[in-house]
Chain A
């Protein structure tokens, strides 16, 4: 059988149904605001994290040794990753994909227009491991090349267009033929910025620029992003045995900072949602004070016939809890519907909606709604329980 004080609270809520309902609507709005804002933030974070994770599975390795030229005034250049270091890296990386990269800057001429950009030397088989071709195909012939999207747009390149590589005033410049065009890649976190670049087969590159056994960069693409730290340590231990000869980087720091920023944004929008709960709390407080003031005489009866103060407090806290519960349950249901619509409209992707990080905002919002109600009811309940029974009985 139920607690009689709970029954009394239920009956009081029922007696003042409209007023209680309106106060609960405040909580409904608060719960919906917190839950949907939270879910929106969580879905945004999860979706961005997923997008960025595709990039952050790459470890970038470059030489840590700077070659000082013996000729005075000549610029110092990086020595590059040597063939033996590359083999060590490959051993340490295990089954993960290891891609050696050559890179330099060059001038070129397309038709009669001169340009400037990066030129990458990659094994044709490696290209497909981390790049997609938008138009055409990977280099098949020795003089084939793929070009970045900006370059293709700016110079109206199509498959078959020929590009002369080297400064415009040199004679007998080598020519490559465009076999494929890459999609826009933006600022790539794996250090291979292809948008303004020409990618040629590694053999072509080393024939032109030398450095056959020295690479400008080596990328390791790990299969499981969570093992990136372990792979980095393995490479470091293997290659940087005596002194640091290679520098190992990854983009996970960037991912962390972006997710942290998104986390801050989520907290901010949650705080905005929280404001509506504060407003709801004021309305619950108001309704509870009304309930106490209307029932002064009844409180007087309860206290005079031996009801403990704690029991009177309990009765009013139950009432606040009931208002909170109604608000939280309705709010929880509305949150699912509204949250789903908001996430679907603003992010366009509801894949992560039912994941714990996102959906847990609904019970969290509900609990916060109930707690807010109970906290709002504390003072009215305290006031009721501390009434003087004689004064309370006298008020009719």
Chain B
């Protein structure tokens, strides 16, 4: 691991800056009964810190697989994926779990809030995972407020909230552990146009505050918020 890190650092120093995320010849192959299916085909890619990147592509182009790789929910079949200088394939399951908790914040299309927890508890939850105790600093409440969530609703369960409110809670949850990367999967897909714009403004604001925002979408208008668009087709990068 140390050697890898040194190599990365050397590469980084040659380029003048370390990429936050680096994919080198990454492939993901699913073994199916009908034969092997290559979802990602020799993808190489760097994403620098504080970039706002949109990943686009038609259905079946490998967007979701790419998102799973970037979110280290999965590991590449071949190739190297490094996040924050660490080679994901060399990490233990627990280390990957901790990286998901501390370095990456997830915003999903369907919000994916924990149904049994209140809005406030959903935001508090990643803090508990990290610090192993309930939040006494008021951080969860502060983050919830910062995304424009109505404080009075914080004791409500997700099912009692509107889509826009749920997505605000989800963004607050993604932000509360102060991750470097915000990974968004069609964040406006389940919202009306107006709420979608509010949410995108929120994400743009996070980028301005120094976060690296990666957006997976098929909506060109949403992708326009990003500063760079990576086009995927048939598991390959066809434009960046």
Give the B-binding residues of A (Cβ under 8 A): 1-2, 4, 7-8, 11-12, 15, 298, 301-309, 311, 389-390, 393, 396
Contact = CB atoms under 8 A, between A and B. Distances in A.
Contact of A306 (B74, B102, B116): B102
B125 A4 contact: yes
B114 A15 contact: no
Contacts of B110: 396
Nearest to B94: A308
B71 to A, nearest CB: 7
Interface residues of B, number: 30
Nearest to B105: A305
Interface string B125-169: 110111001100000000000000000000000000000000000
A12 B116 contact: yes
Contacts of A307: 97, 101, 129
A298 B99 CA distance: 20
A306 B133 contact: no
B189 to A, nearest CB: 14
A304 B116 contact: no
B238 interface: no
Please indicate which of the listed interface residues B93, B101, B114, B121 has the most CB atoms of chain A within 10 Å of its own CB: B114
Contacts of B93: 309
A2 B134 CA distance: 8
A15 B116 contact: yes
Please indicate which of the listed interface residues B116, B121, B129, B173 has the most CB atoms of chain A within 10 Å of its own CB: B116
B106 interface: yes
B68 interface: yes
B5 interface: no
Nearest to B125: A4
Nearest to B130: A306
If over half of B's interface residues share one DSSP class (helix, strand or loop), that class is named, otherwise mixed; here it is helix
Given A4-B125, A4-B128, A390-B68, A306 B98 contact: yes
A106 B71 CA distance: 103
B115 A306 contact: no
Interface of B: 68, 71, 73-74, 93-94, 97-102, 106, 110, 112-117, 121, 124-126, 128-130, 133-134, 173
5 contacts: A2-B134, A4-B134, A304-B73, A306-B98, A306-B99
B239 to A, nearest CB: 26
Contact of A309 (B97, B101, B115): B97
B114 A298 contact: yes
Contact of B100 (A2, A298, A305): A305
B169 to A, nearest CB: 13
Nearest to B116: A11
A304 B100 contact: yes
A306 B128 contact: no
Contacts of A306: 97-102, 126, 129-130
Nearest to A300: B112
A144 B125 CA distance: 94
Please indicate which of the listed interface residues B97, B102, B126, B134 has the most CB atoms of chain A within 10 Å of its own CB: B97
A305 B101 CA distance: 6
Given A307-B101, A308-B97, 4 more contacts: A4-B117, A4-B134, A302-B114, A308-B94
Nearest to A311: B129
Given A305-B126, A306-B126, A311-B129, A298 B68 contact: no
Contacts of A311: 129
B94 A393 contact: no
Nearest to B93: A309
